[in-house]
């Protein structure tokens, strides 16, 4: 049975996107990008909110066509295009690249996806993750903590975080630290 995994790059002060959506502070080098590719290639689907989907769709469908793209970038472009995507939006009529649009998060539907999946489900987007957290649908949280303090921007967590149990830590050569947690189910 698959799990819902909420993974995000975050600053030391818990910000996932700087002012005006700035992501330029992310410390993604070859080592970290290869790790992301390995983790995401094993997933069964991407579960994204509209904003995250549109951000990804604005770059990844053709990123591997750039002759100067690194091997990890070319590899992720293929992973992203080929992976089934479920986009949660009340405004999008349709989405491309193997995507299905869902209007609402329905817990029974997510439970069925987890049962039928061949792997974990990658959850993306702070607003969507807040809904999943409120409904008790997140199984694992992966924080990729970047060695920067932003002071302002979009926080990773918009709702109280459930109890978490540390599963793993890993330091990357660029200073990013992975903190991997299981969400502890309420009694």
Give the tens place of pLDDT for each residue, 79-92: 999 999 999 999 99
**40 is written with which tokens?**
């995401």
Find the CATH number of the domain harbouring 16: 3.40.430.10
Domain count, the chain: 1
Give per-residue pLDDT as tens, 117-132.
888 999 998 899 999 9
At residue 186, the pLDDT reads: 52
Calculate the alpha carbon distances from 39 to 18, 32, 142 in Å. Answer: 25, 11, 11
Question: Closest Cα to residue 152, out of 49, 28, 21, 7?
Answer: 21
Specify the 3-state DSSP secondary structure of 20: helix
Mean pLDDT of all residues in 20-44: 94
pTM for this prediction: 0.93
Domain that holds residue 143: 4-183
């Amino acid at each position: 049975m698959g799990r819902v995994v909420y993974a995000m790059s975050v600053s030391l002060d818990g910000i996932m996107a700087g002012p005006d959506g700035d992501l330029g502070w992310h410390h993604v080098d070859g080592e970290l990008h290869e790790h992301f590719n390995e983790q995401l290639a094993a997933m069964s689907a991407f579960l994204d909110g509209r904003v995250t989907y549109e951000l990804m769709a604005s770059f990844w469908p053709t990123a591997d066509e750039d002759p100067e793209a690194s091997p990890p970038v070319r590899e992720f472009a293929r992973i992203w295009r080929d992976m089934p995507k479920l986009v949660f939006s009340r405004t999008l009529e349709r989405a491309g690249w193997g995507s299905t649009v869902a209007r609402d998060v329905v817990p029974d539907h997510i439970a069925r996806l987890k049962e039928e999946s061949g792997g974990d489900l990658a959850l993306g987007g702070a607003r969507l993750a807040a809904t999943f957290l409120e409904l008790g649908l997140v199984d694992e949280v992966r924080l990729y903590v970047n060695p920067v303090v932003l002071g302002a921007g979009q926080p990773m967590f918009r709702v109280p975080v459930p109890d978490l149990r540390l599963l793993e830590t890993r330091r990357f050569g660029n200073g990013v630290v992975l903190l991997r947690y299981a969400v502890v189910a309420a009694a």
